[in-house]
Every structure is written in C-alpha cells, then in structure tokens.
Amino acid sequence: MPVLTGAVPIATTTLSAIEQSKRLAAYTAVDKHILPEHKVIGIGSGSTVPYVVERIVAQGRELNKDRVFIPTGFQSKELIVMSNLNLGDVDQFPTIDVTIDGADEVDLDLNCIKGGGACHLREKVLAEAANTFIVVADYRKNAEYLGTNFTPGVPVEVVPFAYAQVLRKLRDVLGSPNATLRMAKAKAGPVVTDNSNFVIDAPFSREIMKDPSTILAKIKMLTGVVEVGLFCDMAQAAYFGNEDGSVTVKRKVESKVVEELILPS
C-alpha cells in the first residue's frame, strides 16, 4: 500500500478520538475533492458531515458565493442554511459535481451500508446524481465485508401500508429472520423518514453480505420497498480517519480499488 504524507494537521481539542477521526476524514476529502471549479455540491447526512461543511465554509465566502449545496434531508438542509451557504434542490440541479456523505460501513470494493440515519433514499439520489461520490468515515466503518461492525442490518425504507408484508418477506423468503421495524427513540412508534415512510433493519448472514448487489436487487423487488441502504459500486473513493492521525484512502482506479495511507505531516 503506498504511504503518503500530508494528512491535514488538526489541533488536538477536547474531541474524542472517534470525533477527531471523523473530522480528519472529512477535512482530507474536502481538500482533495471540493475544488474551485465545483459549483454544485451534494451534502450527505450523519455526524461526520458537519465536519465536511465546516471545511467547505473554511474555503471562504469568495469560493462559496457561486456554489449551490444540495441536502440529503432535514439535517443537512439545516447545516447548509446555518452555515450561510446557498441552498438548492436536486430538481433544479439534477447533475451534481461532487457529493460527500458518511457511511455506516464500507467494504473492500467500496460498497456501503447507509441509512443508519434513515436518509438513504435521498442520499442515493444525490450519490447517483453526482459526477463524483465520496464517502467519509471514521476507522470503525472500514471493513472487509458489510455487516462486520455495523450489525443492525440493511436499512430498508418502505411505505407504511406495506411494512408488515415486506417484513414477512425479508424474514421468511430473503433470509433475514431478525429483520425488525425501526422504532423511534423519543416518540412512541416507528421512525418516520423525511419522505413519511418507515424503515426496516434487516441483518443478513456473512454469506449473503459477501455479494451485496444480489441481495440489494432482491430486496428492491419487494412491493412497497422505496429504497435499500446498500450503495453498490457507487463511491469513487472512501476516506477513513484513523486513531493515529493518518487517513486510509480507498479509491477506484480503472474499476479496481487501490488503498493508500496518508500520514500526518
């Protein structure tokens, strides 16, 4: 694996090691991929993405005044607005220069589980709309196979009317006996997405998760499923902040994934 120097030096603050790793990944990815010529930028969801926005804001008003930022949901919309960046929508800008988003887990081939924050429908739309889709995460998300460290399962967004039927099919037909409807934490009842749908979390065996595209296609065919939190063959690169201040970069080069380590400078 090639080893490079020059990971963004970040002052040690009171942030936990995991938060520092997220920030490192986000800052490094912004520095490499959000370039002056990029005018339409997709902003993902989760706890790593605020560091993405922080680094973009640090590029300065001059660069950002002509840019439009497209959110993947309520959280990123608020982030964009609160950061005084220009808010846009994917219907106005169906082609995005770069989308940067977090992930719940990323495998050796850059396939991802997403949807831990129930935003995966809009996240997938913005990933597909982007010329370049970049993932940022801390070291815990860097895995050989999906489902290794992220165990709740594959997030499946489903229309409420169909949830019981989809749950039954996931359990009895597709091989996820422990699939469950995601329940809200501070509200009685299920999580309701930004699109007014429910989410089912469906854990699958290692054997099934070794081939995420196949199970993605099968889940997507169930009537009532709106989107599946498996992003197969979509990311061009993933940046993982490590505990020691280095950044592991996995990127696609001619359809192969190559890995580099950027050491702190």
Ligand X SMILES: O=C(CO)[C@H](O)[C@H](O)COP(=O)(O)O
46-64 as b/e: b if 16+ CB within 10 A? bebbbbbbebbbeeeeebb
Of 114 and 169, which CB lies nearer to ligand X in the complex structure? 114
Position 44 contacts ligand X (CB under 6 A): yes
**How crowded is residue 130: how many other Cβ atoms within 10 Å of its Cβ?**
22
Phi, psi angles (nearest 5°) of residue 9: -70, 125
* Closer residue to ligand X (CB): 101 or 109: 101
Helix (H) / strand (E) element for 13: namely: none
Residues noted as catalytic: 123
- List the interface residues with ligand X, window 71-110 (CB under 6 A): 101-104
Rule CB under 6 A: is residue 42 a binding residue for ligand X? no
* Helical (H) or strand (E) element with 264: strand 256-264
Strand order in the sheet with 225-228: 180-181, 198-202, 154-158, 225-228
For residue 138, the minimal CB distance to ligand X (Å) is 7
Residue 116 near ligand X by CB under 6 A: yes
Q: Does 46 bind ligand X (CB under 6 A)?
A: yes
**In angstroms, rounded to a whole number, what is the distance separating the alpha carbons of residues 157 and 8?**
36
Q: Is residue 50 within the footprint of ligand X (CB under 6 A)?
A: no
Residue 20 binds ligand X (CB under 6 A)? no
Specify the 3-state DSSP secondary structure of 27.
Answer: helix
Which residues within the stretch 180-199 sit at the binding site for ligand X (CB under 6 A)? none
Q: How far is the CB of 182 from ligand X (least distance, A)?
A: 11
How many residues sit close enough to ligand X to count as binding (CB under 6 A)? 17
- Kindly state the tokens that stand for 62: 């001059």
- Candidate ranges 38-46, 91-99, 190-198, 238-246; the one touching ligand X (CB under 6 A): 38-46
Query: Can you tell me which residue has the tokens 């989107």?
Result: 227
Cβ at position 219, least distance to ligand X in Å:
16
Which residue among 23, 67, 77, 114 contacts ligand X (CB under 6 A)? 114
Tokens of 133: 């889709």
Write out the residues near ligand X by the rule CB under 6 A.
44-48, 101-104, 114-120, 123
